[in-house]
A and B are shown apart, each in its own frame.
Chain A
Amino acid sequence: MTGASRFGRLAAVAGSLILAVPLTACAIHTSQRGSGRVEARPNPFEVTPAEAAAAAELAEKAIVDRELRGAGPFYLVATEVVRDKAAEEEGGGQRAILTTHYRYQGDLTIRTRVDLRRSEVVAVDALVGVPAPLAQEELDRARDLAFADPAVRRALGEQLGAVRVEPLVVRTADEEDPFYGRRLVRLLFKTATGYLRQPIVLVDLSGEKVIVEAPPATRPVDYPEPEG
């Protein structure tokens, strides 16, 4: 037997052994690599465009009927599928949709539950001072206001046309806060390399004002000086 063949047999044994050890230790099986995607299935919690339109129509009629429309800006900000335990236990094929409208006047969020199977409004809740997402029209308005502001344009400079704008809705629970009850949005500016640290731009959509904030101090906590 040549040295090479001895190496070959030894390697064969070693290779099998090394492979066998993890199999024995796990006593289970090898990788289930994550590529095994399940075929696409319709997501039951996704609202179809037809459902969204039908729910919005019913909800907005109910809001007007209840004299909740008020004056000023009013947006449909969310449409979602909600569960109904009683209906599920009955085994019914219900399709309950919750629409959320935001009314600037009075900082009012209106949640309307719609039973699409029966084409009827089940409940309307008008809530003051609760979080509500931003409608696309509101984001567009906030972006337009910010990009028209000289301080924002100056701060963004050459990146003005290249940044992607992402909104963060800001709320306060403090009635003394000047922005209490107002539709306030922080705009983030994202480039190919990440989020710009400056400028910090807030848009008060209720008053159509742009605020450019100074950055806070960077050092989070000062340690006490050691004695002696």
Chain B
Amino acid sequence: MRTTALLALLPLTLAASACTTVVCCSESTPQPAGGSAFEVVQEFPSGGPAETAWRVRYGHATAKGLFITGAWFKRSPADPWMRVLYDVRLADIFVPYHPGSPRYYDLTGFSFPLVPATEADAGCCGKILDGFVIKEVRDRGVLWKDDTAVRRGEELVLWATLDSANYNYIMQYGFRDDGTIALRLGATAANLPGMEQTAHMHNGLWRIDMDLAGAAHDTALVASHVESTGSPVASDGFLLFGNGVEGAEDWNDLAFTEIRVYDTQRQNAQGRNIAYDLRPVRMGTPRHQESFAHHDFWVTRYRAGEDLYAQLPSYANGETISDRDIVLWHISPLHHLPRSEDGREVSGVWQGVALTMWGGLDLRPRDLFDETPLHP
């Protein structure tokens, strides 16, 4: 009798001991036989049958952290893979302290490695790839709702942690079921020894080599939306980024600035050019003494070897960027004003960590689909 009861509870007990949190994991797609190393394929919805899918390649290296070396999307099972990204990474992480010094470049100024991944990193639902990279398929809440009809969204997330001496950076790449790409940098761990209370910035300097439907034929626009206190009429506008040549633009919160990249050749069934909108995820706008940090967005023509964010002003040398293979660059700031929650001194040693702050950007599809995706 009691044995029956115990046996009945056994599966529950086992589940609880295997994972102490609530178990409700989205399912990883079985990887195709013979697939490339450092490649992940994920279909959505994770429980099937597939409606959309991502194929993502990644890499990692000392002083580089985790980066994406290719991403392809399927709008439907019948569609062929369409390339969206050639290469996305943090070109650098610029950390200037408010007194003016120090000013660290946490990627190009160091040889920081990745932190080996642990089961605690992976949690119940994650999987460790190659000892350093975590793969998760996450529920991301309500994708859409229409009265009683509802659809929850999912995303494939690849992340790893850079060991920047006292500090850690979480480099995270999310590939969502609706085609959105979420790039995030998380800043955490111990504040700078001896300067734990000194305010500073962590600027994620992103390099985004978009190859929408292939490398050629991409054009960048600056999209703006303006409301007025003097008029009920609002407006939306689009300008060629840099009048069609390499250059920089600023993010204006009053203009809802976004950078749109569209393919000049490929259209959806509604006759609209397929595109992606770069939307910043930010808490403010950084302006530092360094000239690369005088603007928020840069667009350059793809050139092999042009990979240093600090050299951007020299890369933007007047080449045309209309209907070309182009690269987007974006500064994504985190302002770190230390607080008691960051820790305290105990016998000459700092005890405690700064809780993770997140910044980054979203790349959101526009006119990529012919209709509402993931909808009956």
* Residues of A bordering B, CB below 8 Å: 2, 4-5, 7-16, 18-19, 22, 25-38, 40-41, 43-46, 77-78, 80-86, 89, 111, 113, 123, 125, 127, 130-134, 166, 168-174, 177, 179, 186, 188-189, 191, 193-200, 213, 215-221
Instruction: Please tell me if B82 contacts chain A, counting CB pairs below 8 Å.
Output: no
Q: How far is the CA of A77 from the CA of B99 in the complex (A)?
A: 29
Decide yes or no: A200 and B63 within 8 Å by CB, A4-B1, A7-B1, A130-B308 being known contacts.
no
Q: Lowest 4 A-B CB distances belong to which pairs? A: A34-B122, A15-B8, A11-B5, A131-B109
**Chain A residue with minimal CB distance to B118?**
A34
**Chain A residue with minimal CB distance to B110?**
A133
Q: How far is the CA of A18 from the CA of B198 in the complex (A)?
A: 50
Instruction: Please tell me if B87 contacts chain A, counting CB pairs below 8 Å.
Output: yes
Taking CB atoms, residues of chain B closer than 8 Å to A123 are 305
Q: Are A85 and B110 in contact (CB under 8 A)?
A: no
Give the contacting residue for A127; candidates B24, B307, B311; CB below 8 A: B311
Write out, one digit per residue, whether chain B residues 92-119 have a CB within 8 A of any chain A CB (1) or not (0): 1000000111111100111100000111
**Chain B residue with minimal CB distance to A26?**
B24
Q: Are A34 and B2 in contact (CB under 8 A)?
A: no
Q: Are A8 and B2 in contact (CB under 8 A)?
A: yes
If over half of B's interface residues share one DSSP class (helix, strand or loop), that class is named, otherwise mixed; here it is: loop
Give the contacting residue for A31; candidates B109, B124, B199; CB below 8 A: B124
Stretch at the interface among B9-17, B228-236, B270-278: B9-17
Taking residues whose C-beta sits less than 8 angstroms from the other chain, chain B's interface range is 35 or more
Taking CB atoms, residues of chain B closer than 8 Å to A168 are 102, 104, 110, 165
Q: Are B131 and A37 in contact (CB under 8 A)?
A: yes
How far is the CB of A133 from the nearest CB of chain B, in Å? 5
Q: Are A197 and B350 in contact (CB under 8 A)?
A: yes
Instruction: Please tell me if B146 contacts chain A, counting CB pairs below 8 Å.
Output: no
* Residues of B bordering A, CB below 8 Å: 1-5, 7-12, 15, 18-19, 22-28, 37-38, 46-47, 59-64, 69, 86-87, 92, 99-105, 108-111, 117-119, 121-131, 134, 165-166, 190, 193-199, 209, 215, 288-290, 302, 304-305, 307-308, 310-311, 325, 337-338, 345, 347-351
Q: Are A195 and B349 in contact (CB under 8 A)?
A: yes
* A-B pairs with beta carbons under 8 Å apart, 25 shown: A10-B5, A28-B26, A29-B27, A31-B19, A31-B124, A32-B125, A32-B126, A32-B127, A33-B18, A33-B119, A33-B124, A37-B131, A40-B130, A41-B37, A43-B59, A86-B304, A113-B305, A130-B311, A133-B111, A166-B166, A168-B110, A173-B290, A196-B193, A197-B196, A200-B194
Q: How far is the CA of A27 from the CA of B350 in the complex (A)?
A: 46
Taking CB atoms, residues of chain A closer than 8 Å to B126 are 32, 34
Q: How far is the CA of A86 from the CA of B7 in the complex (A)?
A: 62
Taking CB atoms, residues of chain B closer than 8 Å to A134 are 110-111
Give the contacting residue for B22; candidates A8, A22, A173; CB below 8 A: A22
How far is the CB of B95 from the nearest CB of chain A, in Å? 10
Taking CB atoms, residues of chain A closer than 8 Å to B209 are 85
Taking CB atoms, residues of chain A closer than 8 Å to B193 are 188-189, 195-197, 200
Taking CB atoms, residues of chain B closer than 8 Å to A78 are 63, 111
Q: Are A218 and B349 in contact (CB under 8 A)?
A: no
